[in-house]
Amino acid sequence: MAIGYRTPSRSSLGSGTVLRMGDEPELTLLERTKIQAEVLVPLVRAMEEEIGREQAHRLVRQALGDQVRESIRTATPSGGSRDTVEWLLRFSQAGDALDLDRLDGAADEINVNVTRCAYAEFFDQLDEPELGFLLVCSLDYDFADGAGVTLERSQTIMQGNDHCDFRFKGVRP
């Protein structure tokens, strides 16, 4: 999920306002993603031209991933808890961004399939699903890491599959 790069000590998720678990942000994550894409898509394309695709993607992924992990750690002081993961799902789903099917799992798991993804729809409209994966889907692992859990996922809608399979492991009560 695309996050604006700021100093690592703040949890703003790109808004300039510190976000904490339980807060209602002014903009949904989907709205933030659309705004950020206006800058990030041409920036990444320019970086690809200048330094090559692989290095550009590595730098973008590292910068955004570092920011996401720190932002989520700050926003969710009870890392690893079921409440933290549920908050992240609600935050990502806000604004009718995702349709989720919840699946049964072990006590330390939260399993969901995303069956509709407005993030994928948006990047598909831009004809940029590859950058959508870089700027949104690849950051899901950093969201999970920042929240103190592990994410396993084998497929995404952004990559052309019919659903995304999120399996959060190591979730505490």
Amino acid 106 reads: A
Q: Grade residue 173 by pLDDT with cuts at 50, 70 and 90.
A: confident
pLDDT tens digit sequence for 132-156 = 999 999 999 999 999 999 999 999 9
Q: In which residue are the tokens 């729809």 written?
A: 121
- Classify domain 29-169 by CATH number: 3.30.1380
Residue 30 to residue 93: CA distance in whole angstroms: 8
Residue 154 to residue 137: CA distance in whole angstroms: 11
Percent of the chain scoring above 90 in pLDDT: 73
For residue 142, give both structure tokens. 């950093």
Number of other CB atoms surrounding residue 107 within 10 Å: 8
Average per-residue pLDDT in the chain? 88
Number of other CB atoms surrounding residue 104 within 10 Å: 6
Distances (CA, A) of 143 to 14, 43, 73, 128: 14, 23, 9, 22
Map out the domains of the chain as residue ranges. 29-169
pLDDT tens digit sequence for 152-167 = 999 999 999 999 999 9
pTM of the full structure: 0.85
Q: What is the pLDDT of residue 89?
A: 94
